[in-house]
Amino acid sequence: MPYPVVLSGARVTLDQPAESDVDQIAELCSDPEIARWTTVPSPYRREHAVGFVTSVVPDGWASDRVCTWSVRVDGELVGMVSLGDIHQHQGEIGYWLAPEARGRGVMSEATALVLAYGFAPGPDGLALRRILWRALTGNAASAAVARRAGFRWEGVVPGGAVQRGERLDEWRGVLLPDDPRAPAGDWPDVTFVQAEA
């Protein structure tokens, strides 16, 4: 049964976002790239961050359906990572990162911690048998993280994503417990090039 847990790596600590993080979350989620590639409200306001911290995150853990962590480097919140839509031994990973933390391997380390927790059996994890990655087509930065984590390419799903009421095409990848945690070689070239705005 999931409950809020803290995961620690060499550089990152994953814990639960607190009310003291509200202003930082609101500032980061105003970044155009986060708005472009995720489903966070846009424009993002402080009340959205308050609701996220006080309701969305704790309700997700309490329901056993969504585990959300803040990503911290040297104590500073620089992003979020989650395992959501948990049911029938499957979950879906999602993440976003502050501009200044990108390109440094921060999310790759955070993702590795979350995947290890998601697949771990018994009281030390969720014992998932399948973890799904989804991103809007063109999100090469997200694809790079998933590819490094070992996700295998599943393809393009036309109209598979919903962002602020609009149906958009999405990329999908999948990872199973015994898959190698090394870059999968089956990803198409288009996933290596960030789409222009």
Q: Is residue 1 part of a domain?
A: no
pLDDT tens digits for range 96-140? 999 999 989 999 999 999 999 999 997 889 999 999 999 999 999
Cβ distance 31 to 98 under 8 Å? Answer: yes
Q: CATH no. for residue 175?
A: 3.40.630.30
Q: Is residue 197 part of a domain?
A: no
Q: Rounded to the nearest 5 degrees, what angle is found at the Cα of 8, between the Cα atoms of 36 and 67?
A: 50
The pTM score is 0.93
Q: Is residue 55 part of a domain?
A: yes
Sheet order of strands, 130-136 included: 7-8, 12-15, 67-73, 76-87, 90-97, 130-136, 166-175, 152-163
Nearest to 89 by CA among 65, 69, 67, 110: 65
pLDDT tens digits for range 164-189? 888 999 999 999 999 999 988 889 99
Q: Is residue 158 part of a domain?
A: yes
Q: How confident is the model at residue 196 (pLDDT cuts 50, 70, 90)?
A: low
- 155 is in which domain, residue-wise? 7-192
- In angstroms, the first-to-last Cα distance of the chain is 41
Cβ distance 160 to 171 under 8 Å? Answer: no
Q: Is residue 2 part of a domain?
A: no
**Dist. CA 153–CA 134, nearest whole Å:** 10
Q: Is residue 66 part of a domain?
A: yes
Q: Kindly report the length of the chain.
A: 197
Q: Is residue 157 part of a domain?
A: yes
How many domains, in total, are found in the chain? 1
Structure tokens at 92: 């879906």
**Dist. CA 93–CA 108, nearest whole Å:** 12
Q: Is residue 27 part of a domain?
A: yes
Q: How confident is the model at residue 5 (pLDDT cuts 50, 70, 90)?
A: very high
